[in-house]
């Protein structure tokens, strides 16, 4: 007994620096006839802390040939928690006879085969019945120990799942075992122990209590259990692999997959091309720092050349990291599922990249029929990591779009950004990102996406220059409700609606060859004589846009003679409510000019949306407005719409003032009203259409007002409309009403 006690203490001392826990008793449920029930009274259970429910069982017995020698037999055991019913608890507490392993239950069923731990030979495995009666793990122990177990019965027991005898010789003499080369002769055989006293003096001395065989077996199991669980999971999913192997120089263990399965919804051409380009797939376990699984895919023959220095060369490794957690069977299965999802992600992206590379190779997609304007000149392939594709386009190729597959949604995602020196702080395509993403998932063609990005980059960049800050006082009945100045409402990736102060709307269609079609969005696309609800037609829009039309646009389209640039005044809301079709106002049966699209070049649209660009006409940028003051803070489009909006507000104020009388307009777009002694005429500057001007004439005796006084009033009006109080985004409806009221009082004096 003393020899066994000392050997157990030596085992505990040997394992004290390893991540294990040692115990001589565990609440184990042992079925009848199981090899675990035949263990001797001197058994040590070594729990592997890194692996849940795994034990190394050390059975100590006397050697049959030498009673003084103790033989150690090693087993690997996996357990599962099992709660006991009340009747079994009563049977367990009945005495040592019931604990000795008698079975009173029904037939047993095997729970499954054991798991091999290494390629080296291991012992036989025993299947485990699932319906058993609990017995104490202290079978064959002294009566005192059995009585101690009976006094404190555990609330939960452990059921044996797998029980495997380990081949100690194969483990100790495996490929990872370090051999002292100094003990070998020239022929590779071991030297005699007494051959050299110098060699014996250099041998390391171990403490007497240290059992190297035990430490080696425990470390062997600790290292290989995760890979054994992994190989079992791969077998369940019918993934062909080469089993656990040892990397060069014994640095790590690995599992090489022979062939990955075909992903979900893959095309046959994509699957065949990706399998042919895959050189290897290796699974490793990273133990330094954060413990994690590493899956390395190595590809060759990359279809797209990348500008990144790290992505050049014939061999392209791609790595994925997965959390190891506790390394249980469920967690390993989850890791394999994540790896298959990443493999599916690679396949979907590889398919669209392969078609894009084929289009580039064949040269079927050329821009403007010019070899110098091919797709490769429009975009730069900044990065292709097989996980995502990053394309650079636009000015200085500083705008980027990242294409990647999201398995949870089973669709592609597009992420837009900027890098380096750019024309704007953000990517202009973020406005239409949902539309571009939806359309890309429909056609799945990178070449089509590149063409859309080319045709819409300049127009969106110009439209994003317009201010979108909310303003107060726009709504007369609710002046404290903020309303945005400009709002871009995408209809598709190439179709936009530009709303100004919730009153006017421009319909913009991006077309190939560097043109955009602009029309008044207040009119129906199907019937150009009807205006849709919620928006007001813009008077003079066609005349304003014609100032930006260049010769190239004029050659594509000629103005129709039946078009009218001045629709009738909007019908009051109260009059339209009594009619059945109050949602749409019927106009004369002559197509309004602004309802017909006007073709503008990208440069012309940018000039109309650029701040401080003047009117954009023949006078050039920075033109003088009205009385000669500059308005560099507003774009020509904003000034034009601001004047139209202010003219509409002035019309409403004059109609509601008792001291003024509205006169019939002599020409479209002109407001004429009369005070007591003055007749007023407010109109747009015909040269620029970006400023309002007041013309006064005496309605009574000619000697009542001097010419200098009339000019002073006209200059006062021009100054107020030009300054930031009233013009576009720097003036509000409340300010406009106040100015119009002051003007009405001034005219009435």
Which whole number is the average pLDDT over 16-38? 89
Q: For 5-14, 414-423, 645-654, which range has the lowest pLDDT when averaged over its residues?
A: 645-654
Compute the distance between CA of residue 137 and CA of residue 28 in angstroms, rounded to an integer: 5
Q: What is the 3-state secondary structure (H, E, C) of 423-477?
A: CCCCCHHHCCHHHHHHHHHHHCCHHHHHHHHHHHHHHHHHHCCCCCCEECCCCCC
Domain borders along the chain are: 2-178, 238-455, 624-749
What pLDDT score does 561 carry? 41
Of residues 350 and 28, more confidence is placed in 350
DSSP assignment letter at 301: S
Query: Stretch 47-56: mean pLDDT, rounded?
Result: 90
Angle of helix 636-655 relative to helix 602-609, nearest 10 degrees?
Answer: 50
- Rounded to 10 degrees, the C-alpha dihedral 495/498/504/505 comes to 0
Mean pLDDT calculated for residue range 296-318: 93
pTM of the model: 0.75
pLDDT: which is higher, 660 or 575: 660
The predicted pLDDT at position 102 comes to 30
Instruction: For residue range 662-677, list pLDDT tens digits in order.
Output: 887 667 778 888 887 7
Sign of CA dihedral 135, 136, 142, 145: negative
Q: What is the pLDDT of residue 573?
A: 42
Mean confidence (pLDDT) of the chain: 77
Q: Are 71 and 63 in contact (CB under 8 A)?
A: yes
DSSP secondary-structure letter at 564?
A: B
Interatomic CA distance for residues 683 and 689, integer angstroms: 9
Q: Of 75-79, 137-141, 171-175, where does the model show the most confidence?
A: 75-79
Q: What is the pLDDT of residue 197?
A: 52
More confident residue, 488 or 111: 488
Q: What is the pLDDT of residues 682-740, one digit of tens each?
A: 888 888 888 888 888 887 777 778 888 888 888 888 877 654 444 333 334 333 444 44
The residue among 465 and 574 whose pLDDT is bigger is: 465
**pLDDT, tens only, 344-386:** 999 999 999 999 998 888 764 454 445 445 777 889 999 999 9
Mean pLDDT on 315-321: 96
Lowest mean pLDDT among 35-44, 526-535, 670-679: 526-535
Q: What percent of the chain has pLDDT over 90?
A: 37
Instruction: List, for residues 396-417, the tens digit of each pLDDT value.
Output: 999 999 999 999 999 999 999 9
Tokens describing residue 199: 């060699």
Across the range 47-67, mean pLDDT stands at 89
């Amino acid at each position: 007994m003393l020899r066994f006690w000392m050997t157990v203490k030596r085992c505990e001392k040997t394992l004290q620096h390893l991540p294990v826990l040692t115990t001589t008793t565990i609440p184990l449920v042992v079925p009848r006839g199981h090899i675990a029930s035949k263990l001797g009274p001197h058994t040590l259970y070594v729990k592997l802390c890194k692996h849940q429910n795994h034990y190394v069982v050390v059975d100590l017995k006397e050697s049959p040939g030498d009673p003084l020698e103790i033989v150690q037999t090693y087993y690997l055991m996996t357990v599962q928690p099992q709660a006991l019913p009340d009747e079994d608890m009563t049977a367990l507490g009945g005495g040592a006879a019931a604990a000795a392993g008698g079975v009173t239950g029904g037939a047993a069923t095997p729970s499954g085969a054991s798991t091999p731990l290494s390629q080296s030979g291991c012992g036989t495995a025993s299947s485990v019945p699932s319906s058993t009666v609990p017995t104490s793990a202290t079978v064959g122990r002294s009566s005192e120990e059995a009585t101690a177990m009976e006094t404190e019965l555990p609330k939960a027991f452990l059921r044996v799942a797998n029980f495997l005898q380990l081949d100690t010789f194969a483990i100790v003499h495996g490929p990872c075992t370090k051999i002292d080369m100094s003990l070998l002769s020239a022929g590779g055989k071991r030297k005699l122990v007494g051959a050299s006293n110098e060699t014996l003096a250099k041998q390391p001395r171990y403490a007497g209590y240290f059992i190297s065989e035990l430490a080696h077996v425990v470390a062997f199991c600790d290292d290989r259990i995760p890979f054994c669980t992994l190989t079992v999971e791969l077998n369940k999913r019918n993934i062909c692999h080469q089993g656990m192997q040892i990397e060069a120089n014994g640095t790590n263990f690995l599992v090489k997959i022979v062939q990955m399965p075909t992903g979900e919804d893959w095309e046959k051409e994509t699957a065949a091309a990706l399998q042919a380009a895959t050189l290897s797939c290796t699974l490793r376990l990273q133990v330094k720092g954060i413990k994690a699984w590493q899956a390395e895919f190595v590809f060759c023959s990359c279809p797209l050349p990348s500008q990144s220095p790290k992505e050049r060369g014939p061999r392209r490794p791609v790595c994925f990291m997965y959390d190891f957690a506790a390394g249980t069977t469920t967690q390993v299965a989850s890791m394999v599922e994540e790896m298959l999802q990443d493999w599916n992600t690679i396949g979907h992206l590889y398919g669209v990249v392969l078609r894009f590379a084929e289009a580039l190779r064949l040269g079927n997609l050329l821009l403007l029929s010019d070899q110098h304007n091919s797709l490769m000149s429009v975009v730069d392939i900044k990065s292709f990591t097989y996980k995502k594709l990053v394309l650079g386009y636009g000015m200085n190729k500083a705008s980027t779009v990242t294409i990647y597959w999201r398995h949870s949604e089973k669709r592609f995602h597009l992420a837009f950004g900027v890098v380096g020196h750019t024309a704007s702080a953000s990517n202009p395509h973020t406005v239409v990102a949902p539309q571009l993403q939806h359309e890309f998932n429909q056609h799945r063609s990178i070449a089509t996406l590149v063409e859309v990005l080319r045709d819409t980059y300049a127009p969106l960049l110009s439209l994003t220059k317009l201010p979108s800050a909310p303003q107060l006082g726009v709504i007369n009945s609710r002046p404290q409700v903020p309303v945005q100045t400009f709002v871009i409402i995408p209809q598709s990736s190439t179709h936009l609606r530009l709303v100004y102060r919730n009153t006017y709307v421009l319909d913009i269609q991006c077309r190939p060859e560097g043109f955009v079609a602009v029309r008044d969005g207040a009119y129906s696309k199907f019937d150009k004589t009807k205006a849709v609800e919620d928006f007001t037609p813009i008077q003079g829009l066609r005349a304003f846009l014609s100032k930006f039309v260049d010769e190239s646009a004029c050659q594509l389209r000629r103005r129709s003679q039946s078009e009218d640039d001045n629709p009738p005044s909007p019908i009051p809301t109260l009059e339209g409510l009594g009619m059945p079709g109050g949602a749409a106002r019927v106009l004369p049966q002559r197509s309004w000019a602004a309802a017909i699209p006007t073709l503008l070049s990208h440069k012309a649209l940018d000039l109309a949306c650029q701040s401080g660009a003047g009117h954009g006409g023949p006078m050039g940028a920075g033109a003088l407005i009205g009385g000669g003051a500059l308005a560099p803070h507003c774009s020509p489009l904003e000034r034009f719409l601001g004047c139209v909006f202010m003219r509409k507000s002035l019309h409403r104020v004059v109609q509601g003032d008792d001291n003024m009388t509205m006169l019939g307009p002599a020409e479209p777009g002109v407001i004429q009203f009369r005070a007591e002694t003055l007749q007023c005429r407010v109109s747009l500057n015909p040269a620029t259409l970006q400023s309002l001007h007041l013309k006064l004439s005496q309605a009574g005796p000619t000697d009542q007002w001097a010419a200098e006084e009339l000019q002073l009033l006209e200059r006062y009006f021009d100054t107020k409309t030009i300054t930031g109080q009233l013009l576009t985004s720097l003036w509000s409806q409340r300010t406009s009403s106040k100015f119009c009221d002051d003007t009405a009082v001034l005219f009435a004096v």
